[in-house]
């Protein structure tokens, strides 16, 4: 992949989906051009601190409303309202049936 362009995106989509479908016309892809890819950079510490504060606040709200947490072996945390009465729940990511 040479850069970030509609043409590159279209080629990647076709590879992943194993299809020949073209949803961006070639004329449009060429007309816009390409943008060089930049090197990956770690997130700024301020951003990580902000994300951590949001997580702590969200968890406090879940706990205040007495939501139950079921940890699936796939790593997904399922939060269930106190009114949830079924004896098990299906993980939306891996499909495993977890007891409550």
Q: How many CB atoms lie within 10 A of CB 45?
A: 8
Q: Both ends of the chain: CA-CA distance in Å?
A: 47
pLDDT tens across 39-71, in order? 888 877 788 888 899 999 999 999 999 999 999
Query: Range with the lowest mean pLDDT among 19-23, 31-35, 95-99?
Result: 31-35
Alpha-carbon distance of 84 to 90, in angstroms, equals: 13
pLDDT at 4: 75
pLDDT at 1: 47
pLDDT confidence bin for 2, thresholds 50/70/90: low
């Amino acid at each position: 992949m040479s850069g970030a362009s509609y043409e590159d995106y279209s080629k990647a989509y076709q590879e992943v989906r194993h299809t020949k479908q073209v949803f961006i016309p070639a004329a449009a892809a060429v007309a816009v051009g390409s943008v060089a890819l930049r090197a990956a950079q770690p997130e700024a510490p301020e951003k990580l601190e902000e994300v951590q504060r949001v997580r702590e606040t969200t968890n406090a709200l879940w706990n205040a409303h007495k939501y139950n947490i079921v940890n699936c072996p796939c790593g997904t945390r399922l939060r269930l309202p106190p009114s949830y009465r079924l004896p098990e729940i299906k993980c939306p990511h891996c499909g495993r049936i977890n007891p409550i």
